[in-house]
Amino acid sequence: MGWLYMSRAGMGRFNTPKEYLDDQFNCAPREIDGRVRGQRVLASACVSNTEYYAAVVPIESGVEGPAFAIVCMVRWIPRSATNENFGYKDLSERMGISQCNCPERILDLLGPTDNENAIEWRATCRARIAKRKRQLPEGGIIRFSEAIRFTDGYEGQEFVVERAGRKVRLISRDTRARYRVSRLYERDWQLMPQTKVHAAVFPPRA
């Protein structure tokens, strides 16, 4: 399915992409091909109003099946000059998609699957979550898997972490210059072990 666009008026009573899509994917049971089918959204999120993720339970003849993931690409332009305020393209975890920012709480609701694309997609989502959970302590040393080139021409791999509240700057170990790296937690790097030197402790004099 391609993109579907609409105006704010076309969204009816719904004020956000999440509200509209939740309603679209909550389907009351009805007869389809001789069977009574429906589905229910367990939980959803619209990440940065660009990607929608939902854990959805299929229902057939009153029996709920294992939850699966619905994914939508979203475009949200509240002040669009053409009145194309909201657009979406619905996808599925079974399609081999690149939208892999599903929140952990939604992944945890999904049921078992033997679909290879879905298995790979879930693993990729969890790997990204694990990256974002990594700690960057003040004074820590990180090493990127590949050297990063900056606008001043410097290229480096190892940096010292400098924190100022939630902001993180990296200090080059070579030049001591400070840099900011976009999407830092999404990049491939590791925290390098550091040898701690403990103060010597002498026994009291007799």
Task: Count CB-CB contacts under 10 A for residue 161.
Answer: 18
- CA-to-CA distance for 87 and 172, rounded, in angstroms? 43
Taking only the tens place, the pLDDT of each residue in 83-93 is 999 999 999 99
The pLDDT tens digits for 21-51 are 999 999 988 887 778 899 999 999 999 999 9
- State yes or no: pLDDT of 16 exceeds 70: yes
The reported pLDDT for the residue numbered 202 is 60
pLDDT digits (tens, 9 = 90+) for 120-167: 999 999 999 999 888 888 999 999 999 999 999 999 999 999 998 888
Percent over 70 (pLDDT), the chain: 94
Strand partners, 71: 53, 91
